[in-house]
Every structure is written in structure tokens, then in C-alpha cells.
């Protein structure tokens, strides 16, 4: 995977301190920790309802000493912002093309030499949607890495890492269990998030 802000010495340390300071002053609490087997893993990121999710996610990642990569629509990566977005851990995704994102993601995780936590929002968009995409599930299964349930609750100002989810292979039952975990959380635009 490409070089990011999270593996940039000095800058990483400074931004971690600033992130913790900002989150504390803004009244946010960061909870949880990377599980012992989470060196490489897939994060479910929900609810995802606002552009504000990205800066808060980056700050929480600094606070928890994570090495995240996140998927974003390709339009976010147009010049002159492409290099910056990539440095922030972004991976451009073409939603309209039929490229095999799951296979490419599995391969990237397997080939990564260092820690890598791949963030995948199951809604696939900030807009209102009732159906969750299952790419995160198949990426984790293919790479044989844990699924960590990451969350951001704007109503209670808490964010962090929840439990590890162990897939059973029964995707319908597993998605119901995952959605049940996320049901209490509120995104910044709460009316756009459905975990039912």
C-alpha cells in the first residue's frame, strides 16, 4: 500500500497530540482498542452520513494509533487534491465501473508488509440508503483477517472500535447481527442512516 500520514514520523506524533486535544475540547470520547489480532483487519465504518466523518475518523485513528486506509469516490481524488487524499490514507473507488474491488483489496491486505486497517463503509455512500453493501465481509473472508466494528455516534459524541465480528459464512444472519450492533448509533445526519 502507498505511504500515508500515519506512517510519517514526527508529523504523525504532532497530529496525534492535536487530534487528542481537539477531540477532548470538543467533548468527544474515544473508546476501544485494536484487538491483538488486528494488525491487519477490515473496519466496518458506520454510520456514514456526512463529509465530517472523514476528519473525525482521521483524528480517532491518530488517537488510537491506527494505520488506516479508507475508500472514497474517485471524484475526491481529482487534481490538485489527489496526492493529499492519498497521503491521508485514501483509496479512490470508481463506483460506476465493474472492477473487482474485493479481489484488489484482498490482494493489497495480503501483500502489505506492515499494519493495515482497511475502512469500508457498508452503506457505500453518505446518502440515505436502506441496503448495505457486503464488500467488507468478502474482503475480510478472502484475506482471512478480522472484521472490527468501528463506530461514530454524533448524538453521544463517542467513537472508537467495538468488538471483533467473526463471520459464520451465513451472510444473511451475519448482516442482521452486524446491523443490530449499529442500530443505536446516530450519524451526523441521523435520518440518513438505517440499520434495520
pLDDT digits (tens, 9 = 90+) for 164-180: 998 888 999 999 999 99
Cα 21 from Cα 106, distance rounded (Å)? 35
User: Which range (27-31, 95-99, 104-108, 166-170) has the least confidence?
Assistant: 95-99
Task: Tell me the pLDDT tens digit for each residue of 7-38.
Answer: 999 999 999 999 999 999 999 999 999 999 99
Cβ–Cβ contacts within 10 Å for residue 94, how many?
11
Q: Is the pLDDT of residue 126 over 50?
A: no
Task: Tell me the pLDDT tens digit for each residue of 134-156.
Answer: 889 999 999 999 999 999 999 99
Q: Would you state the pLDDT for residue 20?
A: 98
Read off the DSSP letter of residue 6.
G
Q: Identify whether 17 is part of a domain.
A: yes
Task: Tell me the pLDDT tens digit for each residue of 55-81.
Answer: 999 999 999 999 999 988 788 888 889
- Side by side, which strands form the sheet with 147-153? 29-31, 158-165, 147-153, 40-46, 116-120, 68-73, 90-93
Q: Which domain holds residue 92?
A: 5-190
Cα 146 from Cα 117, distance rounded (Å)? 10
The per-type count for the chain, helices as H runs and strands as E runs, is 6, 7
Number of domains comprising the chain: 1
Q: Would you state the pLDDT for residue 74?
A: 83
Q: Identify whether 195 is part of a domain.
A: no
* Cβ 141 vs Cβ 167: under 8 Å: yes
Q: Identify whether 158 is part of a domain.
A: yes
Mean pLDDT estimate for the chain: 88
Q: Identify whether 18 is part of a domain.
A: yes
pTM for the whole structure: 0.88
Write out the H or E segment, with its range, that includes residue 31: strand 29-31
Q: Is the pLDDT of residue 188 over 70?
A: yes
Q: Identify whether 100 is part of a domain.
A: yes
Q: How confident is the model at residue 190 (pLDDT cuts 50, 70, 90)?
A: low
More confident residue, 177 or 104: 177
Q: Which residues pair with 194 in a beta bridge?
A: none
Q: Identify whether 196 is part of a domain.
A: no
Amino acid at each position: 500500500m502507498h505511504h500515508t500520514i500515519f506512517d510519517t514520523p514526527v508529523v504523525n506524533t504532532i497530529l496525534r497530540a492535536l487530534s487528542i486535544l481537539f477531540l477532548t475540547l470538543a467533548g468527544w470520547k474515544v473508546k476501544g482498542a485494536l484487538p491483538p489480532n488486528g494488525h491487519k483487519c477490515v473496519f466496518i465504518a458506520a454510520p456514514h452520513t456526512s463529509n465530517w466523518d472523514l476528519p473525525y475518523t482521521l483524528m480517532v485513528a491518530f488517537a488510537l494509533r491506527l494505520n488506516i486506509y479508507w475508500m472514497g469516490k474517485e471524484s475526491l481524488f481529482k487534481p490538485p487534491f489527489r496526492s493529499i487524499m492519498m497521503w491521508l490514507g485514501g483509496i479512490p473507488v470508481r463506483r460506476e465501473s465493474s472492477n473487482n474491488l474485493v479481489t484488489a483489496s484482498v490482494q493489497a491486505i495480503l501483500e502489505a508488509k506492515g499494519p493495515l486497517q482497511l475502512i469500508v463503509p457498508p452503506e457505500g455512500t453518505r446518502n440515505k440508503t436502506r441496503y448495505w453493501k457486503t464488500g467488507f465481509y468478502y474482503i475480510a473472508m478472502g484475506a482471512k483477517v478480522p472484521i472490527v466494528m468501528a463506530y461514530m455516534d454524533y448524538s453521544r459524541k463517542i467513537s472508537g472500535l467495538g468488538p471483533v465480528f467473526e463471520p459464520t459464512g451465513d451472510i444473511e444472519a451475519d448482516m442482521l447481527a452486524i446491523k443490530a450492533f449499529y442500530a443505536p448509533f446516530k450519524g451526523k445526519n441521523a435520518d440518513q442512516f438505517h440499520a434495520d
